[in-house]
Amino acid sequence: MKSEPWWKEAVVYQIYPRSFFDSNGDGEGDLNGITAKLDYVKNLGVDAIWLSPFYTSPNKDGGYDVADPRDVDPRFGDLADAKALIARAHELKLRVIADIVPNHFSDQHEWFQAALKSGPGSAERNRFHFYDGNPDGTPPNNWISLFGGPSWTQVPDGQFYLHLFDSSQPDLNWDNPEVHADFEKTLRFWLDLGIDGFRIDVAHGLVKENIHKNHPNPQGLSDALRLDVEMDTEERNALLVSVPFFDRQGVHEIYRQWRKLFDSYKGREVMAVAEAWVHPPENATRYVRSDELQQVFNFDLLTAPFDGEFLFDVINRSIQLNSSVGALPTWALSNHDSPRVATRIGDSESRALALFVFALPGSAYVFAGQELGLPDGELQDTDRQDPSFIRSKGRVKGRDGARVPLPWNGDTTPFGFTTGKPWLPLNQSWQKLTVENEKADPQSSLNLFREALALRAEHLVNKGDVQWLESPLHGAKRKDLLVFKRGAVTVAMNLSELAQEVSIEGQVIMLSAGSLDSNSGKKLIPARSCIWSLN
């Protein structure tokens, strides 16, 4: 029997290197810290790690401002440390996915420094989007930075450059073949070092159209663009649909080229997952057509309420849309850009939802700390470092809460994360949530994740489609109950405040909260919980 590619139903553990584990006492996590904790990661039962950027960077945007994409920032170590990390991961049979940031460089990248020194119209400026302003001195258009404020900054000779994010992140000009060649060099560099795949940052943003055209309704768009501003999904989608710098057809040509490059690494099963915030949702499937990328993030669950109808709709739609191009969905409840799921929907709810999505077809992404049930860190404004906090002058609190370092052991903060001063303070209230404490507690979120991932590997991976047994598709008998069968496992999630009785055959092998007496026939599922039952 032909085996499936490794990434197809992989569980991928996202590590934000700065916040994972500090091996040298400088208060920031590093590559050697990750290597030191890979046994812990392996024991979770995941298949791969995704590393957020660790490249040379002034770190104005948590490393998503890359000054040299083919080197390691000294704060994280060096290339030898990267090699050692990859080697140890592979020894443990963990794949390694690296972030790649093709929409922009840091203003400290040598190309941008050269562009500043060279005049308007130069080849150096043509690697970015440099334009003259309007006759009245205003920027070339009214586009807005995703971090707030205008997306243009003026240089001393009067020209403006485009930056969809911070002014320290100039956007690259993908009409320039030099940009293509440089990224292909970077992809090869990391593949040659042993990397197994890439997470493509702002994958939908590389190609810009109509630079001279203003965007209608810049005010509404300003909020819609921000990842951390809550907004009705439909309203957000309606605003995003006409953005001239997102989801242009040209991006797909780039990924077709990249796919050829990936496939030239014979026998390696190189993969890439696109970060693409696009509308309508059908458009996301274009990124995973058979000659493009392997996965595209589905962000629906990052903002979804704990509501049966809502969850059913977004989950069912994602399965169907992906299947229309022969792909499987991805699921993520948390990442470094959004509030942690335990904070957003609650502790029991986040456990229930994790169990539910682990049983679905496709790949599940787990943000480091999610397995502990970690909430967002409570920060003072003086602690905050996110450029969206700085550029919005504090109006937007930003994403630092989800990036507070992990608590490993001990009774007092910083809970073994560092012997120095952590770059963001850990909360003393996390004492019970350390890895050490959770390992020892059979009821902990950590042990729930471990058991669930072991059982997922045994009973759910590559077990085909979902068969809905109770859902709005079936007349929504009970709005607060979702039940599906996949392979030999029946999965039931009770979203209500009360326990609910459900008829399910088999033996309960997982329960996200509380306890359950019956092992056959009718089962009383505790409030806000999820069970797996094996036939």
State the residues that interact with ligand NOJ by CB under 6 A.
61-62, 64, 101, 165, 201-202, 275, 336-337
Taking the C-alpha atoms of residue 214 and residue 373, their distance in angstroms, rounded to an integer, is: 44
Residue placing its CB nearer to ligand NOJ in the complex, 247 or 275: 275
Q: Could you tell me if 239 and 220 are in contact, meaning their C-beta atoms sit under 8 angstroms apart?
A: yes
Q: Is 128 left (phi over 0), alpha (psi -120 to 50) or beta?
A: beta
DSSP letters, 87-120, are HHHHHTT-EEEEEE--SB--TTSHHHHHHHHS-T
Taking the C-alpha atoms of residue 90 and residue 219, their distance in angstroms, rounded to an integer, is: 48
Single-letter amino acid code for the residue at 487: G
Q: Which of 264, 283, 319 is nearest to 204 (CA)?
A: 283
Which H/E stretch holds residue 198?
strand 197-200
Q: Is 149 left (phi over 0), alpha (psi -120 to 50) or beta?
A: left
Q: Angle of helix 347-358 relative to helix 308-323, nearest 10 degrees?
A: 30
Chain centroid, CA 340 distance in Å = 12
Whether 234 is catalytic is no
Least Cβ distance, residue 104 to ligand NOJ (angstroms): 7
Q: Counting every residue, how long is the chain?
A: 535
- Residue ranges of alpha helices (H) inside 65-196 are 79-91, 110-117, 177-192
Neighbours of 445 (CB within 10 A): 21
Residue placing its CB nearer to ligand NOJ in the complex, 101 or 460: 101
Surface-to-core class of residue 435, CB atoms within 10 Å of its CB (0-12 exposed, 13-18 middle, 19+ buried): buried
| Selected catalytic residue, list 47, 65, 196, 275 | 275
| Token couple for 4 | 């499936």
DSSP letters, 328-358, are --EEES--TTS--HHHHH-HHHHHHHHHHHH
Give the list of residues 6+ apart from residue 207 with CB closer than 8 angstroms, or none: 174, 245, 248, 249, 250, 251, 254
Whether 300 is catalytic is no
Give the list of residues 6+ apart from residue 351 with CB closer than 8 angstroms, or none: 373, 445, 448, 512, 513, 529, 530
| Selected catalytic residue, list 30, 182, 196, 201 | 201
Q: Angle of helix 177-192 relative to helix 250-263, nearest 10 degrees?
A: 30
Q: Could you tell me if 408 and 372 are in contact, meaning their C-beta atoms sit under 8 angstroms apart?
A: no
Per the listing, tokens 């810049």 go with: 218
Taking the C-alpha atoms of residue 411 and residue 414, their distance in angstroms, rounded to an integer, is: 9
Taking the C-alpha atoms of residue 499 and residue 473, their distance in angstroms, rounded to an integer, is: 22
Least Cβ distance, residue 208 to ligand NOJ (angstroms): 15
Active site residues: 201, 275
